Structure 1
């Protein structure tokens, strides 16, 4: 597998924990300079202290001005060659109880956060000989799940954005892809497990099994497995891979 070019600068949104942190650490291990971006300064600084990143930037991806200011500051340190648009959140509710505010929250974080981040890095990235944009979507962007219609709609929007933007950038050295994890062993899924336990009275093991049943391998995905797919897409050998939505889900489609 062809690796990264010499010391690219990678920005990972939502990089302080879970999938984002695993991606950041993998990029560091591959020789990248990594800035992790998020809302919680203490979590981000701990990631830096642990060697999972070199720098931290504070911003809420749903706040366009805040995010673009943080990206500009990170870019001034070193131009950004790799964007991993990972930040996201999930809320569950029956469609009948999913009001406009819920849909707006899910779109603001999971879709517009990706839009704002790409808009912040793409102009400069197109002027350089190498650029990689990877959005961390979800299998929810490839299919439907009950009780998360707002989240699913936002992730479908991310896939559409990736496919369109890949065509617009095909004449440059920038590739644009999405990685779509199934249920992954993260804090976000831990919240879903707690919700299942609370609403159904099931044990933790039963709640985990309820989520893992979607995966034909019968398990949760690990953050490192997602990071490995992202690292491949960021490599020089993946230059012909663009506009794709790659499931990391144990065979779930």
Structure 2
């Protein structure tokens, strides 16, 4: 088997890999020697960050045919996916009375269905190899309720349930399934949420940003590279007994 101190010879696939947490994880894996397929709906964004072991493939995680086609293309070019990182997601908040079915379904289709479809497409090839890691990017909201964001919280709770079930299903085999659960991370999502909170509440943009900063126990935004470091740990030497876990990256005890 390939030396796991590096990831040379490994093919990783990261959804939502063009920006934010996904891009940080993709770059960390590529730096370790993996060939990394990043996916997203905006090909131009993927093309801007491709190179040095990172390859962009357009994909909409909400569309089963799109997922199957993109994963097949990636496998044909770089071999079975042995590191699958379902990261693509949207973080938008609405109270339940203001949540219509279309909003709810779009959150679920992206955050939960998209992860399911990605893992389902990658798993057969992974199971033909002698090693595999699935690392889903959930959220602290997947471990506790988040006021004003019931749909988002429910989708992230569901993602953790999927990961825990897979870990049980393949227990004792050389594949592990874990979820990263960050708090507020300094990414474009926080920037968008800052504006949305300000518009919804009437507070200033600075106050809205501070609201998210204060939600992290150590009172600062998390760097995307901190989340990537946790992903590297889960694919590194000695990670084979870390399975079915929810790794909190939130600056303190939160759940």
- TM-score normalised to structure 1 length: 0.95
What secondary structure, in the 3-state scheme, does the structure 1 residue paired with 2:39 have? strand
In the aligned structure 1, how far is the partner of 2:6 from the partner of 2:136? 18
Structure 1: 4+ residue segments shifted above 3 A: none
Partner of 1:25 in structure 2?
27
In the aligned structure 2, how far is the partner of 1:119 from the partner of 1:69? 13
Partner of 1:66 in structure 2?
66
Deviation at 1:189, TM superposition (A): 1.3
What secondary structure, in the 3-state scheme, does the structure 1 residue paired with 2:178 have? strand
What secondary structure, in the 3-state scheme, does the structure 2 residue paired with 1:213 have? helix
What secondary structure, in the 3-state scheme, does the structure 2 residue paired with 1:65 have? helix
How is 1:143-182 mapped onto 2 (pairs within 5 angstroms)? 143-182=144-183
In the aligned structure 1, how far is the partner of 2:174 from the partner of 2:8? 16
Which 5+ residue runs of structure 1 have no aligned equivalent?
A: none
Deviation at 1:3, TM superposition (A): 2.7
Partner of 1:136 in structure 2?
137
Partner of 1:205 in structure 2?
206
What secondary structure, in the 3-state scheme, does the structure 2 residue paired with 1:16 have? coil
In the aligned structure 2, how far is the partner of 1:93 from the partner of 1:205? 20
- TM-score normalised to structure 2 length: 0.94
Check conservation: 1:61, 1:117, Cα contact below 8 A. Answer: yes
Deviation at 1:5, TM superposition (A): 4.3
- The CA RMSD measured in Å over matched residues stands at 1.3
What secondary structure, in the 3-state scheme, does the structure 1 residue paired with 2:112 have? helix
Q: Tell me the matched-pair count.
A: 250
Partner of 1:87 in structure 2?
88
In the aligned structure 1, how far is the partner of 2:5 from the partner of 2:188? 30
Check conservation: 2:21, 2:227, Cα contact below 8 A. Answer: yes
